[in-house]
Each structure stands twice: as C-alpha cells, then as structure tokens.
Structure 1
Amino acid sequence: MTLFKIEWRNQQKALIIWLSTFLSLLLIFSAIYPQMFTPVLKQSMEQMMASLPDSLLGTFNIALSGPASMMTPVGYFAYYFQYLYLAACIYAMLLGTQGLIREESDGTIDFLYAQPIARWQIVQWKLLVSLLQLALFWVVNAFATSLFLWFFKEKSDATAEIIRGVRIIYCGEFFSLFFFLCLGFFFSTFLKNVKQSTGVTLSVIFGFYLMGILANLFDKLHFLGEISPISQGIPANLLVNGLSNQWWILIVSLLLLGLSFFFYQKKDFRN
C-alpha cells in the first residue's frame, strides 16, 4: 500500500496536466460545432466533401453518411477526437514505459528492492496505480464529452444518440489504451533509462497509426488496419463496426502483461 501511495503521488501531476488539456480542447471543439454547422455552411461542407476522393476521405476517417457522419454531433466529435485519441494512446503508453524504469533512472532501485515486497508485487502496485489513473482520466473525459455535446447540440439533435455514440467510442478506445499501457510495461522491463521511454512510445504509436493510413490507401495492405490497435480504436470505425474487433486486443494485452511480470522477475538491476 505504501508503494501505491508513492506511485499515485508521483503520477498525479501528469494526470492533472493531461486531464486539463483534454477538457479544455473538448470544450473548445464542442463550442465550435453550432457555429460550423449552420444550414448554409453544412450544405457547403457536404458539397465540398463529396467532391473529394474516397481514398482521401478514408485516410482522414471522414464519413458523409451513416452513424459516423461528420454532419452530426457524434460524427463531428468522432472526426476531431481521433487526434486526441492518438494523444491519449501516447499518455497510456508513457504510463507503462516509465512505470518500472523510474527508480533505476533516479538511482533509488536499491531502496525499493530492499523493502519487504516481492518483484511481482512491485509490478502489481505500479500497474494498479497506472490503470486507475488511466481509467479516471478516461471516465472524466467521457462524462465531459457527453455534457459538452449535449449543451452545444442543435434542437434537432437527439440526446440519446449522442450518449450512445460517446459510450461506444470511449468503451472501444479504452481497449486500445489498455493495450498500450500493457505494451509500455512490457517495454519497461527492457529499457535502461526513463529518457528512452518517450522515443519508444512515439515510435510505436505513430508506427501503428501509419499502418492504419496505409491500410486505407492501398487495398492490398488492408490487413494492416485489422492488426493495428490504433486503427481499431478510431472513433469513426467504432461507430460503424461497434466493439466486435476489440476482444483480440484485450487478449494480447493480457499476454503482454504476463510477459511483463515474467521478465521483471528475471531483470538484472543496475544503477
């Protein structure tokens, strides 16, 4: 429990910064919606978007019809939130990659390892703190999104559809966030310094994001979108496909978590 309190205190500042940034951006983009989608502008945007090639629309995950239509509150939210979702994946993986390596970088690993606590318990408590903070971050954002979209919606927009769309997006994307948290913990068992975590995190996140782009551009590479957790969690894809493709992400995540416990047990600590 002492390790839990220490970890919570160490990560609390980052949680507040990320949460404040997300809430501010969600409020700003939600407030823009009624200004952008007046009847005249809506018609102009539909005509402009319809003239673009399907491959380009697919690359930017823009839908002009169906549940992910950009001309609806949830579809508009899905479009801009895909970029915030990318940032959330970075946050989730940073929580993992920095989780088990921080003490080695700070030179306090001997103190931690001298405590009456097993190595698997170190991973357990650090994972629990990171998972709770990630869940808190996501739940607060989901509640704020529903509130902002409801407050700035047009009279013709159905509240039930907004809540349903937000629920599908946030539930589906949490599978991807959990995957990157577990993947971060897995990498953290091999990293030598906490400074390496940022480079590894950005490389992995944007690598998976690029796989999704290539899948949309080239039919022969469509399979890349099926194996990219980033692509599976894109809001527009979730609104169309639901949560049917998320369970394999959970299975791989649990496998990575098990490997993290295993390799941390074998790790050779060095200052």
Structure 2
Amino acid sequence: MNIYKMEVKKGFKSVLIWSVICVLLNLLFLSMFPSMKDSGMQELLKTKLDAFPPALLNAFGLDDAPDFSKLEEYFAYVFQYLMMAGVIYGGLLGSKALIKEESEGTIEFLYAQPVKRSKIVTMKIFAAVTLFALFVIIMALSSILVSLAVKPSDLNTMDMILNYKLLFSGFFMVGLVFMAVGFAISAVVPHLRLAMPITIGLFFVTYLLGIFSDLIDKLSFLKYFSPFHFAMPADVVKQGIKSGDIVLSLVFITVATVVTYIIYRKKNFRL
C-alpha cells in the first residue's frame, strides 16, 4: 500500500478548492491596484491612519504605511490576509493527517498493513508537504501572472519576481510550522472534530500574541511564540526574512515533528 500516493490523491481536491478560492481573491485584490494607485488612496490612507495610536499601528504592521502606488507594498498589504488563510490550510493538512482514519472508522484497515507507525507518519508528512507546496506554487504563479498585467511600466519585472519569491518563501516556512504543530495535535486528540478547531484557534491565539508583543513592551518576548510574525509580508518586502526567524521556525518544526513520532508510536487506536 503506497500511503504517500493515497494521501496525495485524497487531498488533491482540497488543494484545488483552496487554490481556486485564494486565486480568485488574489485576482480581485490585484485588479484593484491600478485604481488604487491613481485615486489618491495613499493620501486618504495616511489621513485615516494618523488618527490611530502609534502602538496600534505598529502592532498591525502599519506604523510605516504601505505606499499603494508601489505594487510590491500594495501586494504585501493584501497578501497578509491570503497568507493567513493559507497558513491555516497548512495547519489543517497536518491536524487531519493522523486522526482522520480513526474518525472515519478505517483505522483498522491501515493498522493491519505491514507498515511501521513511523513510516505511516513519514509518508503522511511527505504527502502534506507536497500538497501544501502545490498550493503555494499555484498561488505564487497566479500572483506573478496577474501582477505582470497590472504592474507599472517602470517596475523591473525581475525585481518584482524576486520580492514575490521572498514573500512566498516566508509563506511556505510559516505554513510548515503550523503544519508540524498540526501533526502533533493530530497525534494527541481523539477525534477529528477536535483537531480542526484546536488548530484554527491556535493560529489566532499565536497571532494575537504577536500583536500584544508589539503593543506592550514588557510582552515583546511573545513575538517568539507567534510564527506568523516571523514572515509578516510588509516586513519581508522591506527587510527580507531574518535568519533568527528561520532558526526559530526550524526549532518549532523539529520539536513538533519529534513529538508527533513519539506520541503516535505509543498511541492506542480506537479500532
């Protein structure tokens, strides 16, 4: 039984659904860029943002207001919302992976196969990473193609592509963090109906931790527990991805993956 192929085949439909929805939203956002660029939106935005406290603007990455006349900054601003959805999808891929057979009542068939539990986990991880990578590639290609159609003539195409490469690399990295955590959740919880809300809730809790770390100086350490803030699009466009954030992401992924193998190896299945 080829677990990897089976998992990819079963998850392909969800990739298409998520991709279509996110690509359409991406198309909608980017199609608005020409009108945003020419309608004085930058001045209007600055006027509105000046009314908010500096700490609040900093928490949402708006302390340095995005210049909507620049495609990279406009895209980074709207992309953060698509990235949130995509990262949640990555987490759900992990949180469903090891618990769905128990929830569907097919775990006995899987358990009866001459395959070690560690190999089951490995193949499911490879399949989830493949599906998420496919989703990110579709999003990246669609973003580049639409951006080419709306970009200003003075914007260098290669510079734009390199900026997008950074954005989607950060997206992929953060998605893998939540996927790894999702796998650990999947190995622990007894039912799929618990795994999914826990994963989504965990994302928003950690996202709020990142906001609090910017709002309150004494809580600045909380940013290390907010993987989404490791690759905030607005920061990535201006500063790139920091090496420290890459290391932290690898630590989260490694710890969550090790926990997954240890727990799943000892888990008592509900046959």
Same fold, judged at TM 0.5 (above): yes
Asked if 1:242 corresponds to 2:237, the answer is no
- Find the aligned partners of 1:219 and 1:178 in 2 and give their Cα distance: 29
- Find the aligned partners of 2:104 and 2:44 in 1 and give their Cα distance: 56
Is the alpha carbon distance of 1:70 and 1:63 closer, same or farther for their aligned partners in structure 2, counting shifts above 3 Å? farther
For residues 94-118 of structure 1, the C-alpha deviation after alignment (integer angstroms, 9 at most, x for no partner) is 1111000011011111111111111
Task: Look up the match of 2:106.
Answer: 108
Cα RMSD (Å): 1.8
Q: What SS does structure 2 have at the residue aligned with 1:237?
A: helix
The answer on whether the counterparts of 2:36 and 2:68 sit within 8 Å (CA) in structure 1 is no
Q: 2:90 aligns with which of 77, 89, 92?
A: 92
- Find the aligned partners of 2:45 and 2:127 in 1 and give their Cα distance: 44
TM-score (norm 1): 0.92
For residues 143-198 of structure 1, the C-alpha deviation after alignment (integer angstroms, 9 at most, x for no partner) is 21122112111223332332122111111221111111111111111111111122
Task: Look up the match of 1:215.
Answer: 213
5+ residue gaps, structure 2: none
Is the alpha carbon distance of 1:256 and 1:40 closer, same or farther for their aligned partners in structure 2, counting shifts above 3 Å? closer
Deviation at 1:55, TM superposition (A): 2.2
Deviation at 1:52, TM superposition (A): 4.1
Q: What SS does structure 1 have at the residue aligned with 2:158?
A: helix
Task: Look up the match of 1:31.
Answer: 31
5+ residue gaps, structure 1: none
Deviation at 1:53, TM superposition (A): 3.5
The answer on whether the counterparts of 1:119 and 1:264 sit within 8 Å (CA) in structure 2 is yes
Q: What SS does structure 2 have at the residue aligned with 1:270?
A: coil
Q: Which has the larger displacement, 251-260 or 124-133?
A: 251-260
For residues 106-152 of structure 1, the C-alpha deviation after alignment (integer angstroms, 9 at most, x for no partner) is 11111111111111111111111100000111011112112211211
Deviation at 1:42, TM superposition (A): 3.4
Counterpart residue type for residue 142 of structure 1 = A
Deviation at 1:219, TM superposition (A): 1.9
Asked if 1:259 corresponds to 2:262, the answer is no
Asked if 1:269 corresponds to 2:260, the answer is no
- Find the aligned partners of 2:233 and 2:63 in 1 and give their Cα distance: 11
Q: What SS does structure 2 have at the residue aligned with 1:117?
A: coil
Q: Paired residues, what number?
A: 269
Q: Which has the larger displacement, 28-37 or 139-148?
A: 139-148
Task: Look up the match of 1:164.
Answer: 162
The answer on whether the counterparts of 1:92 and 1:134 sit within 8 Å (CA) in structure 2 is yes
- Find the aligned partners of 2:140 and 2:190 in 1 and give their Cα distance: 35
Task: Look up the match of 1:142.
Answer: 140
- Find the aligned partners of 1:193 and 1:22 in 2 and give their Cα distance: 28
* % same residue: 31
